[in-house]
Chains A and B, each alone.
Chain A
Amino acid sequence: MRRWITEAFVLVVAAVVAFPLFWMVLSAFKPEDEIISADPVPWTTRPTLDSFTRALTVANFGRYFLNSVVVALIVVALSILISFLAATALTRFRFRCRTTLLIMLLVVQMVPVEALTVPLFFLMRSVGDSVPAFGLNHLGSLVLVHLAFSLPFAIWMLRGFVAAVPVELEEAATLDGASRFRFLWQVLFPLVAPGLVATSVLSFIHAWNDFLFAKTFIISAVENQTLPLALQVFVKPDQNDWGAIMAGSTLMTIPVLIFFMLVQRRLVSGLAGAVKG
């Protein structure tokens, strides 16, 4: 009997927690007059794609969606390569400064990246003078900063996965005549792939969700905005097109939601592993 009450309570909590997302999707499909009605109801009898059409055409959301995808995917690809090499170096080799590097990796994760907007803004300005594609107003600048922000955690987390591959395997590969390079990419890399998936998802989400740096770097080049910024453009005092805003939010949330669902188990155990070191 008491378990029954607890379960009912937990289900109510789950409904409350899920409600904002339900409301987002519902409002994205509501016709406009139901959205600006003074008596909103939690259902609709006339679902429509009007809001999505408005978001994609009027606000050019498709373009920004593509920009976000490009930035996030490049960050993920580069972050995989670089963090895999670094994690291998930090687990498979003994050298001076190794412990110092590890501690610095941990400490640097705690630096509030938000505080770095000012110096990074000027850095990207000077980078843009010589390589425009990586300067202000270009997607390259966002790739650079998110790569830097995602690396410390990715390296830190991958260490555990690399360390889990037995050293005997490397010796066996060497005996069989595999070069160091071949061992690295054809044996070790596939074996740590599960770890790479988890770190990639986190890098992707960080780059995808970023609002601050997109806002700081992409000043005048409207065509290079990313989703969070584009969504923010919709929000105008007193004349919000809530239907289009909710359609845009839905488009922005779905990819992350899918990714999260795919790797949630690995993410939680991976996070626990990262915390445990």
Chain B
Amino acid sequence: MTAKGQGRTAFAYLTPALLVLGGLLAYPIYQLVLISLYDYGQEQVSGGAPLTFLGLGNYQNLLGSQQFWTVLGQTVAFAAVCVVGTLLVGAFLAILATRVRTWVRMTLFLAALGAWSTPAVAGSTIWLFLFDANFGFVNEVLGIQGFSWTFDKWTAFGLVAAQVIWCSFPFVMVTLYAGIKAIPGEVLEAAALDGASAFRTAWSVTLPLLRPIILVVTIQSIIWDFKVFTQIYVMTNGGGIAGRNLVLNVYAYQQAFAASEYGLGAAIGVVMTVLLLAITLFYLRALRRSGEVL
């Protein structure tokens, strides 16, 4: 087929995808930036007041507000705790999984698969029930009935983080386990023949070989945990008492749809997108460095 004919057929095949992605992803991204530049509240939406162009006004408001910086700090800290927790639990269990018999490993993987596949809303409500002040099983076991985990800011964050780690460590565990299994046995035998200790082998042979995979799961976890919405929203009832459990995503949602400050909500969305795209660029560079080609 001629080059021109190839191009035409390819374009025909791509049209539906381009239409959907253009209309429902690219255009909304453009709109997001546009809305963030306007004073866009309830009156403007209903047509009761004219649109005023603010330029970077929403961003100025945002960067000048104490709450934004608090929420941003909370988001970063919360994501960091979730990422570190997920990686530690996932890596530890992946290593243990290589040292047990098949049926034990399958039991662990089956349990992990259950946690992995539980819908976020269902998972959050189950955890809420388990940690319920009066009827929860955890308080019964600990003998602290009446203690509310969601009332205090830090126990609430801790509870949500534990739930997030619960449902995201399986991905890390399964991926790392596959990575460990993919290391050729000869490499490890050679290390053993050269007299390397178990620790030395793990540190100087296994870890460097796993680095690309560790990098991928780390950045994937950062991206996921940075934009947790459902768990925070459901477990802290929309961001906690007086909004003290807010993270960026929930903050943007509350500003836009609860306070009707759509312009401000969009500006928060832009800030979040920029932050995540920066992480993505890092991801792409890391992928390229580990020898992947598109």
Question: Which residues from chain A sit less than 8 Å from chain B, CB to CB?
Answer: 3, 6-7, 9-11, 13-15, 17-18, 20-21, 23-24, 27, 35-40, 42, 81-83, 85-86, 88-90, 92-96, 98-99, 101-103, 106-108, 110-112, 114-123, 144-145, 147-149, 151-152, 155, 180, 205, 208-209, 211-212, 216, 227-228, 231-232, 235, 237, 240, 242, 245-246, 249, 252-253, 256-257, 259-261, 264, 268, 271-272, 275-277
B193 within 8 A of A: no
Are A211's CB and B107's CB within 8 A?
no
Are B123's CB and A20's CB within 8 A?
yes
B residues 260-275 touching A (CB-CB < 8 Å)? 262, 265-266, 268-270, 272-273
The interface-forming segment of B64-72, B183-191, B196-204, B222-230 is B222-230
Are B122's CB and A95's CB within 8 A?
no
Could you tell me the distance between the alpha carbons of A119 and B216 in the complex, rounded to whole angstroms?
A: 30
The interface-forming segment of B49-57, B80-88, B128-136, B153-161 is B128-136
A146 to chain B, nearest CB (A): 10
B76 within 8 A of A: no
B16 within 8 A of A: yes
Could you tell me the distance between the alpha carbons of A81 and B17 in the complex, rounded to whole angstroms?
A: 10
B15 to chain A, nearest CB (A): 8
B234 within 8 A of A: yes
Collect the chain A residues with CB atoms within 8 Å of residue B242's CB.
none
Collect the chain A residues with CB atoms within 8 Å of residue B180's CB.
none
- Select which of A151, A205, A216 is within 8 A of B17 by beta carbon: A151
Digit string of B33-46 for contact with A (CB within 8 Å is 1, else 0)? 00100000000000
Are B294's CB and A103's CB within 8 A?
yes
Collect the chain B residues with CB atoms within 8 Å of residue A152's CB.
21, 25
B61 within 8 A of A: no
Given contacts A37-B135, A95-B10, A277-B293, contact A231 B122 (CB under 8 A): yes
Are B216's CB and A112's CB within 8 A?
no
Collect the chain B residues with CB atoms within 8 Å of residue A268's CB.
174-175, 178
Are A116's CB and B269's CB within 8 A?
yes
Collect the chain A residues with CB atoms within 8 Å of residue B209's CB.
none
Could you tell me the distance between the alpha carbons of A191 and B146 in the complex, rounded to whole angstroms?
A: 58
**With contacts A94-B6, A216-B257 known, what are 15 further pairs, Cβ within 8 A?**
A10-B96, A14-B107, A17-B166, A18-B115, A20-B130, A24-B122, A95-B6, A111-B29, A119-B266, A123-B31, A148-B23, A148-B25, A249-B125, A252-B119, A253-B117
A234 to chain B, nearest CB (A): 8
Digit string of B213-242 for contact with A (CB within 8 Å is 1, else 0)? 000100000010011011001100100000
B220 to chain A, nearest CB (A): 8
Are A107's CB and B9's CB within 8 A?
no
- Select which of A102, A252, A260 is within 8 A of B122 by beta carbon: A252
Collect the chain A residues with CB atoms within 8 Å of residue B140's CB.
38-40
Nearest opposing residue in chain A for B216, CB measure: A275
A-B contact pairs, 27 of them (CB 8 A): A3-B101, A10-B97, A10-B105, A21-B115, A38-B134, A83-B17, A86-B17, A89-B9, A93-B9, A94-B3, A95-B3, A103-B294, A108-B21, A116-B29, A117-B269, A118-B269, A144-B24, A148-B20, A149-B25, A211-B120, A211-B233, A212-B253, A237-B237, A256-B118, A257-B117, A257-B118, A268-B178
B28 within 8 A of A: yes
Nearest opposing residue in chain A for B273, CB measure: A115
Could you tell me the distance between the alpha carbons of A83 and B135 in the complex, rounded to whole angstroms?
A: 47
Nearest opposing residue in chain B for A108, CB measure: B25
Given contacts A107-B277, A119-B32, contact A242 B135 (CB under 8 A): yes
B residues 143-170 touching A (CB-CB < 8 Å)? 145, 166
Could you tell me the distance between the alpha carbons of A27 and B137 in the complex, rounded to whole angstroms?
A: 11
Nearest opposing residue in chain B for A250, CB measure: B122
B292 within 8 A of A: yes
Are B99's CB and A6's CB within 8 A?
yes
Collect the chain B residues with CB atoms within 8 Å of residue A94's CB.
3, 6
Digit string of B101-122 for contact with A (CB within 8 Å is 1, else 0)? 1001101101111111111111
Are B129's CB and A112's CB within 8 A?
no
Are B178's CB and A115's CB within 8 A?
no
Nearest opposing residue in chain B for A258, CB measure: B117
B91 to chain A, nearest CB (A): 13
Collect the chain B residues with CB atoms within 8 Å of residue A13's CB.
93, 108
